[in-house]
Chain A
Amino acid sequence: MTDHPPNELDVVSDGALPSDVDESGAVASSLREATHPSVLGLMGEFPSAVEAQTVSARDQAVVWIQASKSLEMLRWLKDDAGQLYDMLSDVTGVDYGDGRTIEVIYQLFSTKHKRPLRVRCKLPLDKLEIDSVVVLWKSADWLEREVYDLFGVTFVGHPDLRRILMPDDYEEGHPLRKDFPLRGRFSRAEQTRRALLQDVERFYQASDLQVGGRPQEVATPESTTLHGEDPS
């Protein structure tokens, strides 16, 4: 199991996860011997970094890995000749609520071996950070931005980590967290007040028109006349 001592954030208050229970209880019976070749491979290559594994929904292999070694292990899964997970279908997060860890989930697929694998990383709430995998799969770009936007997980090394679905100046937090109320943190009156106060022109000004994180030069009002036209 985990190397670090469990803190109060890891306490399970309502229903245990397969990974939270060692070899006892009802959940342990669902933990089977690993048969998926990639899970066996990961256990052989990174014996200390594989936290748990299970088979979910009858035939789907799931493996929990240490978040601190995730990039190294995912790179091995992508490049090793026996694995070749060249397609990253999905990156998403799960918040179980009640102060438990937030998990980042990678859905991998190997078009060579025709094999799917689900990789999960637990992140403690006080350190929601994990290495970005954009260097391995370009498809992670928007998917990681979405997890950052909706869960507040920071992807270290992401080239352009900004909000994607919510507005850039959204101040109410991260919507898919369990501590986020369904109707938002602010009251309806406050949300309406803020919406009406918005300067809509701002969306078409230089600070918003950024490409790849660098501000663009935009024509100032003095220089917006057509060429050859007398500015006066």
Chain B
Amino acid sequence: MAQRKVELSLGRNPEMGVDGLPTQTPLAPFDILEPEIDTEQMLINIGPQHPATHGVLRLVCELDGETVVTVTPHIGYLHSSFEKLGEYRSWNQIVPLTDRMDYLAPLIYNCAYVMSVEKLMGIEVTERCKVVRVILMELDRIFGHLLWLGTTAIDVGAFTPFLYAFQERERIYTLHEALTGARITTSATRVGGMMADLPDGWIGALTEFLDTFPDTLAEVHHLLTGNQIHIGRTQGIGVIGPEDAINFGLTGPNLRSAGVDYDVRKDQPYYDYETYDFEVPVGRYGDCYDRYLCRMEEMEQSIGILRQAIDRLPGGPINVDDPDISLPSKTDCMSDMESMIHHFKLITEGIPAPEGDCYLPIEGSKGELGMYVVAQEGGTKPIRWRVRPPSFVNLSTIPKLAEGHLVSDLIMINASLDIVLGEIDR
């Protein structure tokens, strides 16, 4: 399918050259330093406990004055060895581990994991389940981008967008809670279907959210997109070119802002994404400002996908009709002996998998989220469960992006990458 791009034609900083870099570089070259000043380089430690690192991330910076010479990220403070834990759990018991990785967009992780397991086992989920999962994933893309928007804005001193973003997130939290009973640790999916079907009135509440959310987005646009302070803090900062961006493994909005139109939903489509009408925003300069624009446009596109998904949401069962995979209903378990035995057997024995491995990438809110599962013949637990963490790979570019920028820009670059430490450390 032909890729369509949204033109991001907004005013650039007049001090900027054609390549997107400022013509008057604020980075002090060594020769203009006054000789009598002591020019000893200094080491500064940021984090692990610091609000601007967006989690327990530690950055050791070598500074020349206020300019970053090198920056070394230290991670692992949240390491919980989820992948090792998964090897001791049956296929469905892993689902709660997945949403604890990216607690900013948990439903995407729930869905990605079971999609990979279903592909490995050759399970074809029902049409209703597919559309429901698309709705949940797009809703959580907005959810994740809103947190990024609020915290990034507050990092450059804009407080109001933070309040707007969190007000909207609160409404998505309510939708999460109505669907799963939990606000953050949703664990909504199961192999072969969902924990439960959508409750009554949920689609109505989602439509209500979709009707009013664009107004908030427009207000944030009004506050930030043309704002001179915001432009000054983001344009020409943390620039990366398209070849470098691919080579460094950037994915998601970070890659697309550098002008590479790679979106897993278009390039390796899953769940009939090729039949939805949406566009992939692609940036030009690969700086913090383009990353901002790409994410803002992605939220608009997600609203469109959500509306289309609601329109085509079919009826029918949400779980596959296979007693070896899906549990009987709770009511049946409590009233019918055969269903009780069926439930007991499925829980105690687990779902057997075929021999093989499966790597399934999907477009998460942070980038390409790949779930890799390896199973042995008849195994009810994975031999290996691996998450290809988009934030982990995105964060590894920070030494390159921040080199030569000011310390205050390092904070902006770190924020613009949209990382979540729960998934980096796993």
Contact = CB atoms under 8 A, between A and B. Distances in A.
Given A60-B359, A175-B84, A139 B249 contact: yes
B43 interface: yes
Contacts of B88: 182
Nearest to B122: A58
Contact residue range for chain B?
A: 35 or more
Given A90-B386, A142-B393, A182-B85, A57 B358 contact: yes
Contacts, number: 132
Highest count of chain A CB atoms <10 Å: which of B42, B75, B120, B393 = B393
B76 A167 contact: yes
B249 A58 contact: no
A57 B122 CA distance: 7
Nearest to A210: B72
Given A57-B357, A165-B425, A209-B60, A92 B122 contact: no
B358 A166 contact: no
Contact of B72 (A86, A109, A212): A212
Interface string A92-132: 10111100000001010101001010100000000000000
B114 to A, nearest CB: 14
Nearest to A219: B42
A138 B247 contact: yes
Contacts of B361: 89, 109, 116
B70 to A, nearest CB: 5
Interface in A181-232: 182, 204, 209-212, 216, 218-219, 227
A113 B7 CA distance: 24
B358 A90 contact: no
B357 A142 contact: no
A211 B60 contact: yes
B116 to A, nearest CB: 8
Contacts of A111: 246, 260, 262, 267
Given A15-B355, A96-B383, A141 B396 contact: yes
A165 B60 contact: no
Interface of B: 38, 42-43, 45, 60, 62, 70, 72, 75-76, 79, 81, 83-85, 88, 119-120, 122, 244, 246-249, 251, 260, 262, 267-268, 355-361, 368, 370, 372, 374, 376-377, 383-384, 386, 388, 392-393, 395-397, 400, 425-426
Interface of A: 14-15, 17-18, 27, 30, 56-58, 60, 62, 86-90, 92, 94-97, 105, 107, 109, 111, 114, 116, 118, 137-139, 141-143, 146, 150, 163-167, 175-176, 180, 182, 204, 209-212, 216, 218-219, 227
15 contacts: A30-B355, A57-B358, A62-B357, A86-B247, A90-B359, A90-B372, A92-B386, A96-B383, A111-B246, A139-B249, A142-B393, A165-B76, A165-B79, A182-B84, A210-B72
